[in-house]
Amino acid sequence: MIPTFELFGKTFGIYPVLALVGIFTAGIYARRQARKKGLDENDMIMVLLVSAVGVLLGGHLLYGLVNVLSAPGSAPNLLASDSPKAFFENAYILFGGSVFYGGLLGGIFAGALYVRKKGFALPEWADLLAPAIPLFHFFGRIGCFLGGCCYGVPCSFGFTYTHNLIEQANGVSRFPIQLVEAAFNLALFFLLWTLQKKGKFQGKRLVLYLLCYSVGRFVFEFGRGDTYRGIWFGLSTSQYISVGLFLVAVVFLLYQRFTGRATQKL
């Protein structure tokens, strides 16, 4: 659609711009929620910054892992690089992209470590940050649609790319799976925000997000037209991760439910 645009004589990619919009929107939301809860806004900023580092590292690392697993013969071998320049060129090819699930898990892990280290209440901070994740992701998927990545399967109704940087996506009417996922993330944000305002599902909202998103992502993957994310036995890398997160979320919620009841009985 609009992979790049010109502004003040410079060329900008549409996806990075919308991703930044998502980051700032989610960050502003998280800061306001922290203030309403009487927490230090500076602490929230630090949690967000640390989480952002985890997002960057996790997203790129999982992208590289998917490259190696899905195409082990064609993935660049960093150890075989014969010069520093070749090493960095191969590293860019191997880790140059990003996978959302890697960023999600990396961000959660980094943020949780920081919150624990500072002695904050992890469930409270996880509750505050949970709605910010789908809010950011909403803008990211709009960027995917306009930029042409994460394109959908061929479909008789949809949108046809003509200037996509991914050549195989051009010239074919494709189902706008990115817009469907964007709408899903926006609905998920409002669900978690409503639960937060009503004080419900305390200490479990991040797990609820993982439960809902894993189900949605598993379904959405069938509408994706690209295969570079790794396909094994008819399922993509993200679908296997979705199954794992769904099971972890269910086990956690069941554990909380039954241990909570047991504690009340005692």
Binding residues, as ranges, are 141
Please return the burial class of 25, using the count of CB atoms within 10 Å of its CB with bins 0-12, 13-18 and 19+: middle
Q: What's the number of CA atoms in the CB half-sphere (13 Å) around residue 134?
A: 29
Q: By C-alpha distance, which of 160, 137, 152 is closest to 222? A: 152
Rounded Cα–Cα distance for residues 122 and 103 (Å) = 19
Please return the burial class of 152, using the count of CB atoms within 10 Å of its CB with bins 0-12, 13-18 and 19+: buried
Q: By C-alpha distance, which of 139, 103, 141, 133 is closest to 206? A: 133
Where helices occur in 148-236 by DSSP H, the ranges are: 177-198, 205-220
